[in-house]
Chains A and B, each alone.
Chain A
Amino acid sequence: MWAFIHKLGSPKWFYAISSRLLPWFWTTAVLLIGVGTVWGLAFAPADYQQGNSYRIIYVHVPAAFLAQSIFVSMAVAGLIFMVWKIKIADMAAAMMAPLGAAMTFVGLFSGAVWGVPTWGTWWMWDARLTSMLILFFLYIGVIALRGAFSSRHSASRAASVLAMVGVINIPIIKYSVDWWYTLHQPSSFSMTSRPSMPADMWLPLLIMVLGFYCFFVAVTLMRMRSEILRRESNKRWVRELAGELS
């Protein structure tokens, strides 16, 4: 087990294994998002209350899930970096932050657009909306903080600490709809009970969620490979790799 973790922490090994995994993640992501898009937009039945505007759910929910999962992943990576000084964990944290910010923006934006026909307003200082906005600012903060130091080590430590502290916001987002129920509806899904919507509605949503997760893994692995090339450009194996390719 420890040998495996140690190997996983080696940039050279990670670069090799990720190149074999990546095509699978890209293909699965494109397939799932493609199927989910066609199904969700054209084939899923219209909602009896909201009509067709509810089709925004197929981008809104996956983006919001990802926005929160990426932040948790970033905090875990930060913890691993702080405790075990594993550099690759810090690279992961650095590379996933922009996608997390983008997904938070998508969640907020699609929610605002959806709110106009359903709630009659695009924004309200509802607990769920506000805590998501805070998540967006936390992402911006983590990215800015990383850019604010001239020493990479200080930047990584500061960004890790902010991610680990900011992760407190995630349970607040999750339970905000139950604790302060003002505008945003509580979750339509739970692990313990059957979904309240027909399978023709929730299956495409599940497919979109899985597709978004695969996409996140693909983008993060790809960007970590770039970061490895950037940080290790003077290592012998990187130079040999570039030599072989040219």
Chain B
Amino acid sequence: MAFESFQDFIAMGGHAPYVWTAWAVTLALLLVSGIHARAEHRRLLRGLQRRMRREQRLAGCPGGTTNHYQRGGNANDT
């Protein structure tokens, strides 16, 4: 241990503002980059899953999307 006490450690021999600012900014940027990379991947996977489910639902109901649009068209005609 290079310091006598915890207060000593925080004070950094009078260089506290410099040491802690540089460290805080660096670690914060690393943390944000890491969290962003993981969240980005999770978000994309979720989006793909949602799309798959939607397509399966549409494929599952008889007539699929076409039926829906046809009914809309008929309503306008009459």
Contacts and interface: CB of A to CB of B under 8 A. Distances in A.
B51 A56 contact: no
Contacts, number: 107
A33 B29 CA distance: 13
Q: Which of A110, A241, A242, A243 has the most CB of B within 10 A?
A: A242
A117 B20 CA distance: 13
B49 A242 contact: yes
A113 B44 contact: no
B33 A239 contact: no
Interface string A211-246: 000010011001101100110010000110111011
Nearest to B3: A42
A177 to B, nearest CB: 20
Contact of A56 (B13, B19, B27, B29): B19
Chain A binding surface, main DSSP class = helix
B13 A219 contact: no
B75 interface: no
A21 interface: no
A137 interface: no
B18 A114 contact: yes
Contact of A53 (B19, B37, B38): B19
Given A45-B2, A52-B12, A233 B30 contact: no
B22 A113 contact: yes
A238 B47 CA distance: 12
B52 A116 contact: no
A46 interface: yes
Contacts of A113: 18, 21-22
